[in-house]
Chain A
């Protein structure tokens, strides 16, 4: 127990140690997080009127980001599957970064849900009367928290073992790795079902939403990991083989192609049929009755996704610069498409045919940015701590003789 406390203390201390760039990055993230906290306090006092949401468009930026981030959390699964199921060892050493990302991202998801609640003080009501299994939201609560615990356990166990200088025992983590794979797929499916099951919202009431969710998740998650790994490679001594990046590139490549294929399926069904159900899609892609709020966004997203897919298919993206560009385009494109592009159009027009557009307020944007900054802060700390620990540069035994910084200076 004392050893574990020492471990946590060392992790805590380590998260403050770094060069000026690290400190600058962390200071910026902290300040943005605090700005978000400030805006949230304002929202707590005045109510959700501080946001751009209305009775007509009752979910906005928060739920859009929540939806996107659930997808990003898939990154872990897409690294784990090749390693543990297909025995593709290129990715073995980087699996942990995917799982750490999952932890940080799920924390962000939970925060985005919390800030969307009108009465966060009544959060405990979920424990007293839990409408399970009827409400899909209760499924999502279980799926997300379960996924958080699974990944916390796997990462925590592996890193702690490295800290203690012993070999991790497969019994304590391999079964959880397999459970986490199935669980990762379930978090997207359940989150998609949250929307798909609503008969009064034809834009969501389509069986293709869940598969599209998975496809875009399996593109955005690994794309994010590719960028992370390049940063890890550049700024730490952790070795990341080109093969690992190229293996991830293939995953993103295939997922992007499937994503675009499913998009075409959906767009065709909506517009060729041209029934009354098309109104929301019409609003999203072309505007409805002179309202075009989302049109520039969605076409930007489609453009980004198409360029990203093209780059990924071309051999040029074996070069890391092009690969980075493709990943950034894919992440941003999917953020728009799976965020605002999926949530807002379902509310326009309303079930009574009224068209009210949604524009997030400054407060809402600052709160969202704050949560993003906080998530990145967490992830930076996770990566910053886990790299030297996993490399065996910081262990309990070494600690006895030398200070934390000595271990680092040796890097």
Chain B
């Protein structure tokens, strides 16, 4: 800067920039050229952007799910269906089943029965069109030490030839669909919210990918698409809904939606259907005749991390007569990844 040395070089600097001499013009030109090419070189990786990565004007102006009119939805859904078809060669019609009146979904999991086979984990991945590489899983099964409910002593990556290990018990964890969800509170753009039937959903086209919800969740239930999701075309589930299992893009959050594209039309979640031991119970807690209502009234129930006060709609319960393990079986897939 302008200290005494400046005066030595001052005259040269003066000549350089005060008048447009030939030399000044040339050196300015060289500097400008070098600068431009350096910026161009820095931007070079953008050449690898795929067409899908650049939002079209229509995508850019797409409204938040809650602000879309019926016509908006029709247009947006058919556009998404077309995009799915061109990418995965799968014909689909995007569904948007509304929450049913007088229904609040609740999930119960029987810790006395679960054998840790992880069939639920993989059925979920197949049902919900999660990325296979890197694989995103909504359910994490913990192999727990008997005599402790402390998850820190659990094994996430147990991988024996047969389950269950009779010295352990198993605790699958997935989104607890909290009634006071911290993930919804923290989202700066309202891209995630709680539906009237208790399911917390994400508008994947609205999420900005800040991952604040992922930091806020006490159940580690949210997943982020760090890379472009990959699914083989023959593995895409064509029964898809806007708010649940349609294929996601990179850079957005996703999570368990209690398979709302199934459960809102009277079916059971995929993780429940596949469970070989009947450890999973799902239903409408507002209906006193439902299984979940019966279990809540009559069984020994445990709410994981009740102290964080998020009021989960997912609970664990035990059989009075203790463990009722079935015959050992081979677990599905490999150890929990990601």
Taking the closest CB of chain B, its distance from the CB of A23, in whole angstroms, is: 10
Is A198 in contact with B190, judged by CB distance below 8 angstroms? no
**Complex Cα gap A123–B5 (Å):** 47
**Complex Cα gap A35–B154 (Å):** 43
Q: Mark B202-226, 1 if CB is under 8 A from A, else 0.
A: 0000111111101111111011111
Q: Tell me if A181 is interfacial: C-beta within 8 Å of chain B.
A: no
Q: Tell me if A272 is interfacial: C-beta within 8 Å of chain B.
A: no
Is B45 in contact with A411, judged by CB distance below 8 angstroms? no
Given A55-B214, A352-B156, decide whether A141 and B251 contact each other with a Cβ distance below 8 A: no
Q: Which of B19-59 contact A (CB under 8 A)?
A: 35, 38-39, 41-46, 48-49, 53, 55
Given A38-B41, A119-B207, decide whether A200 and B142 contact each other with a Cβ distance below 8 A: no
**Complex Cα gap A17–B6 (Å):** 10
Q: Tell me if B288 is interfacial: C-beta within 8 Å of chain A.
A: no
Given A47-B227, A200-B182, A405-B10, decide whether A119 and B64 contact each other with a Cβ distance below 8 A: no
Number of interface residues of B (CB under 8 A): 76
- From B9, B38, B173, B225, A352 is in contact (CB under 8 Å) with B173
Please indicate the chain B residues that have their CB under 8 angstroms from the CB of A58 in the complex. 211, 214-215, 224
Is B188 in contact with A137, judged by CB distance below 8 angstroms? yes
Q: Tell me if B187 is interfacial: C-beta within 8 Å of chain A.
A: yes
**Complex Cα gap A276–B150 (Å):** 9
Is A405 in contact with B209, judged by CB distance below 8 angstroms? no
Please indicate the chain B residues that have their CB under 8 angstroms from the CB of A119 in the complex. 207-209, 251-252
Taking the closest CB of chain A, its distance from the CB of B203, in whole angstroms, is: 10
Q: Tell me if B278 is interfacial: C-beta within 8 Å of chain A.
A: no
Q: Which of B142-198 contact A (CB under 8 A)?
A: 142, 150-154, 156, 173, 182, 185-191
Q: Mark B113-157, 1 if CB is under 8 A from A, else 0.
A: 000000000000000000000100000101000000011111010
Please indicate the chain B residues that have their CB under 8 angstroms from the CB of A59 in the complex. 211, 215
Number of interface residues of A (CB under 8 A): 78
Q: Tell me if B322 is interfacial: C-beta within 8 Å of chain A.
A: no
**Complex Cα gap A141–B46 (Å):** 28
**Complex Cα gap A334–B253 (Å):** 32
**Complex Cα gap A350–B42 (Å):** 36
**Complex Cα gap A200–B185 (Å):** 13
Taking the closest CB of chain B, its distance from the CB of A41, in whole angstroms, is: 4
Which residue from chain B places its CB closest to the CB of A135 in the assembled complex?
Answer: B188
Taking the closest CB of chain A, its distance from the CB of B46, in whole angstroms, is: 5
Residues of A within 8 A of B (CB): 13, 16-20, 22, 30-31, 34-35, 37-38, 41-42, 44-49, 51, 53-56, 58-59, 113, 116-123, 125-126, 128-131, 134-138, 141, 194, 197-201, 234-237, 276, 279, 346-347, 349-354, 384, 387-388, 403, 405-406, 408-409, 411
**Besides A122-B208, A125-B189, 13 other A-B contacts (C-beta < 8 A):** A49-B227, A55-B222, A58-B224, A121-B60, A122-B189, A126-B188, A134-B185, A135-B185, A137-B210, A199-B182, A235-B3, A347-B215, A352-B173
Chain A to chain B contacts (Cβ below 8 Å), 7 pairs = A30-B35, A34-B42, A44-B45, A58-B224, A135-B188, A346-B215, A353-B151
